[in-house]
Amino acid sequence: MDQFGPRQPGIRKGEITPAYSFIATDVIRELHGLCPDLRLFYVLRNPVERAWSAARMAVLRAEMTLEEASEQWFLDHFRSAGSRRRGAYAEAIGRWRSAFPAEQLLIVFFDDLRERPREFLSRLCDHIGVDGRAYDATSDEALQRAVFRGPEAPLPPRLRRDLINLYRAPVEELGHVLGVDLSHWLAEPVT
């Protein structure tokens, strides 16, 4: 938490990591004590896509190929506590909102980054108090460039069904918390 200590006037500091989505409430409250005016944003990705992406990255870290990873290996990965916790968005939002006022936590969707990267960036900049015009010359390709991308592969239908079943209740809970329809996250793709 050293990076969140005293700051120079006019200088914005921050960092981005998915790890903040599952830190404990007492740590979040400690962070609020250090920086009560902190501006936060949480980028939500379809948890089915997120879990598949994370599993592909785990295959890479395990120095395997996708072909070497069995269906059971993927199922075990999806059902692991860490993977499920990363997709428990409503719980994470509840923990952060228990310490920070709702207006300090901007909830945005990864799909918006894909589809409207400039509008997405503008919303983030406005929320954190940064002049977004500094990014006007940045190309759309640069705004959409993936970082730490795992090997590309379509999600097999059997694994998709398992993930949809695994995340059905958390997605429905999140939709209720945010007041939005997220049923498209649970839809089978049209073939």
Is pLDDT at 32 greater than 60 in this prediction? yes
Write out the DSSP string of 27-62. HHHHHHHH-TT--EEEEE--HHHHHHHHHHHHHHHT
Q: What is the pLDDT of residue 140?
A: 84
Domain ranges for the chain: 15-186
CB 169 within 8 A of CB 52: no
Specify the CATH number for 15-186; select among 3.90.1150.10, 3.40.50.300, 3.90.1170.20, 3.30.365.10.
Answer: 3.40.50.300
Joined tokens for residue 56 = 């592909």
Span 67-116, pLDDT tens digits: 999 999 999 999 999 999 999 999 999 999 999 999 999 999 999 999 99
Residue appearing with tokens 């993936």:
146
Write out the DSSP string of 144-176. H--SS-----PPPHHHHHHHHHHHHHHHHHHHH
Q: What is the pLDDT of residue 90?
A: 98
User: How far apart are alpha carbons 152 and 162 in whole angstroms?
Assistant: 20
Span 131-188, pLDDT tens digits: 999 889 998 888 888 777 767 899 999 999 999 999 999 999 999 999 999 999 999 8
Q: What is the pLDDT of residue 2?
A: 61
Write out the DSSP string of 92-129. HHHHHHTTS-GGGEEEEEHHHHHH-HHHHHHHHHHHHT
User: How far apart are alpha carbons 33 and 163 in whole angstroms?
Assistant: 37
Contacts of 1 (CB under 8 A, 6+ apart): 30, 31, 34
Total-model pTM: 0.89
Average pLDDT over residues 38-65: 94
Q: How many CB atoms lie under 10 A from the CB of residue 13? A: 10
Q: What is the pLDDT of residue 145?
A: 84
Joined tokens for residue 170 = 């958390």
Is pLDDT at 37 greater than 80 in this prediction? yes
Q: What is the pLDDT of residue 34?
A: 92
